[in-house]
A and B are shown apart, each in its own frame.
Chain A
Amino acid sequence: MIRPEEITDIIKTRIEKFVPDAETGEMGQVLQVGNGIARIYGLKNALMGELVEFESGVFGMILNLEYQNVGCVIMGSDAKIKEGDKVKRTNRVLDVPVGPQLIGRVVDALGRPIDGKGQIESQKRRPIEVIAPGVVEREPVRESLNTGLKAIDAMIPIGRGQRELIIGDRQTGKTAVAIDAILNQKKEPAQTRPICIYVAIGQKESTVARIVKILEDNGALEYSIIVSATASEPASLLYLAPYTACAIGEEFLWQGKHALVVYDDLSKHAQAYRQMSLLLRRPPGREAYPGDVFYLHSRLLERACKLSQKNGGGSLTALPIIETQANDVTAYIPTNVISITDGQIYLESNLFHSGIRPAVNAGISVSRVGGAAQIKAMRQVAGQLRLDLAQYNELAAFAQFGSDLDKSSRQQILRGERLVELLKQDQYKPMSAAQQVMIIFAGTGGHLDDVEVDKIKKFEADFMCFIESKHPEIEKELNEKKILSEQLKEKLISAITEFKATF
């Protein structure tokens, strides 16, 4: 409860600090306004990306500099802006509050809190548009960022500082993969745990509320920030939201910490930018997107990086999400983002509907830099897993004809079916790297070949409990040494045999 005297004191101090000098600046006049766009006559010295203030107190950002007028997007309601209104230059570019005070909060695209938990007492602000760190400031990706999902951590590993695209049709579990990755960070030690920033671009308010609740219920909100620009907001805010999140993440990056940003999703971001560009009368190109739509995403994703030790060694990992239409990855925006990122996790609706969740298509999903970040133990088991699955997928087509297959082919199919089953994982139940290594080792080593397919899930759950209670030293050693030595392999095999006798 604030006392009236305190308020009086604050006002008194502000009055004392006030310097009553004349105000100077540049002023233009609104020529036309509508659809979140305003054209302003004058302001001939205005800069690209500069903030301008309308008479009604609403801010706008300049995006078009033309002869005798400038085009700007209005960041808020345009209902109070009318023709002839005065518009002032502010001589500053858009910046947002950053810092640890934002952790656990839900903010809008301008960094203003929308979770009803009061003001954010952040002392620092960062411009939302900055040039990505250069070559000398970076170093190669070498630390892993575990998602807790077997299918991803084993076959499409993500490194800290990497940009890994999550792509797929609607309802294929793209957001679920990203949320699982955020939840899994809880297992990381607090010092190295990445701060997770989830950006909702053009999503339903209900979806954002659901995600906040999931994070809250799983204790993940204590290291997460949510930037929300929902479908009900103007296109300008949808356009700004990912840059805002990136600026928030960069603050942690330059402090030598780790950050993970999930852009959900960049298809809607591109659509918002298309809307703005068309209203600003920029010439439309392919699929009516403006010519600089590639730069829109490349300049955003280039800001994800792993900094060199000299610069603090922080990292900013980006998980952009793209929604495809009818599995078409050759559309304009998907091909653009695929070419920008360091790999993609491709989710398929066919797999999703046949019960394979996460519906990762291991054949066409890749991670170009994550391999170096993978722990050695995982690399030891994952190579065989990829090979077995590829052979299974090739033979599975033959198996459908019911034709007679030789013994080795039958064995391959048998193994493949079990591996596919093994890679299935429930939502919001991420696994540690050691647990993943142990179960994948059991699968690729052929120890599950005599377990019925529909019992694999139970086997996995019971086996984890068994290891935890009877052989905790195996998991401990894996966590510490991060390598499957011959001795550890033997221990693991004997533990599996021991467990199978009771299963």
Chain B
Amino acid sequence: MNSSDRILAVRYARAYLNLDGLDYSVETEKAAREQSAQLIRLKKEIKSIEKFLLHPALPFDGKIEIFRKAAFGLSGNCPKFIELLLKENRFYLLGIIIEESERIIDLYAGIVKASAYSKTKIDKAEIEKLEKVLSGIIDKKVALSQSIDEFIIGGIRIKMDDLFIDASLNGRINKLRKEILN
């Protein structure tokens, strides 16, 4: 993927969700999440015919026909959006459009998604505590998800947007290694 694809995907996602300039309301967020969920669902279900839809030799009409016959139970402007992607040969961007859609909705709702990586599972109370601390740092609501990373010996590593906090044993050992070598 190159940078222009990413920029293009952002533009498609913004056009699809149409949240620009809107004041926050729970209903709008819910509708946007539903729109995004449709794309996620489609991405999972479309696997069997994805190769056809991405094939450069197949004509647009043929692709539309296959897509319509598959009938994924899409509603709202989602089917038309997919048809537009097929027509413009941008269907390959679907994965990034989903990522960007999620990010745009989070931005609209004032939520920042963060991931916590640890060796073992962190309990709910600790997650909430961490969310509170992180919210204090960036002054936004933080939704923390956790992942297990076998390589972390102990401690925790958090990634939140561009920001990272490495409080893992691995990170500290790496830091020590650098300091000794320098």
Contacts and interface: CB of A to CB of B under 8 A. Distances in A.
Interface stretch (A21-29, A344-352, A368-376): A21-29
A390 to B, nearest CB: 59
A14 interface: yes
B165 to A, nearest CB: 5
Nearest to A22: B167
Contacts of B161: 42
A68 interface: yes
Nearest to A83: B1
Contacts of B162: 26-28, 42-45
A20 interface: yes
A272 to B, nearest CB: 23
B180 interface: yes
Contact of A11 (B2, B6, B172, B180): B180
Given A68-B6, A68-B7, A23 B166 contact: yes
A468 interface: no
A324 interface: no
Interface residues of A, number: 26
Contact of A31 (B6, B159, B176, B179): B6
Given A26-B162, A42-B162, A69 B3 contact: yes
Contacts of A20: 172, 175-176
A18 interface: yes
A68 B10 contact: yes
Contact of A24 (B2, B165, B172): B165
A14 B161 CA distance: 33
Interface in B1-37: 1-3, 6-7, 10
Contacts of B180: 11, 14-15
Contacts of B2: 31-32, 39
A279 to B, nearest CB: 13
B129 to A, nearest CB: 15
B163 interface: yes
B176 A41 contact: no
B166 A32 contact: no
Contacts, number: 64
Interface string B141-182: 000000000000000000101111111000110011001100
Contacts of A44: 162
A435 to B, nearest CB: 52
Interface in A65-81: 66-69
Contacts of A32: 1-3
B7 A67 contact: yes
A66 to B, nearest CB: 7
A45 B163 CA distance: 10
Interface string A82-100: 0100000000000000000
Given A14-B179, A22-B167, A27 B159 contact: yes
Contacts of A43: 162
A20 to B, nearest CB: 5
Contacts of A22: 165-167, 171-172
A103 B1 CA distance: 47
Interface in A371-406: none
B6 A26 contact: no
A69 B1 CA distance: 13
Contacts of A41: 3, 6
A500 B106 CA distance: 95
Interface in A280-318: none
10 contacts: A14-B180, A15-B180, A22-B171, A23-B175, A24-B165, A26-B163, A27-B159, A27-B163, A31-B2, A31-B3
Interface of A: 11, 14-15, 17-18, 20, 22-28, 31-32, 39, 41-45, 66-69, 83
Interface of B: 1-3, 6-7, 10, 159, 161-167, 171-172, 175-176, 179-180
Closest 8 CB pairs of A and B: A22-B167, A23-B166, A26-B162, A42-B162, A39-B3, A69-B3, A27-B164, A32-B2
Given A23-B171, A67-B7, 11 more contacts: A11-B180, A15-B180, A18-B175, A23-B164, A23-B167, A24-B163, A25-B164, A27-B163, A31-B2, A44-B162, A68-B7
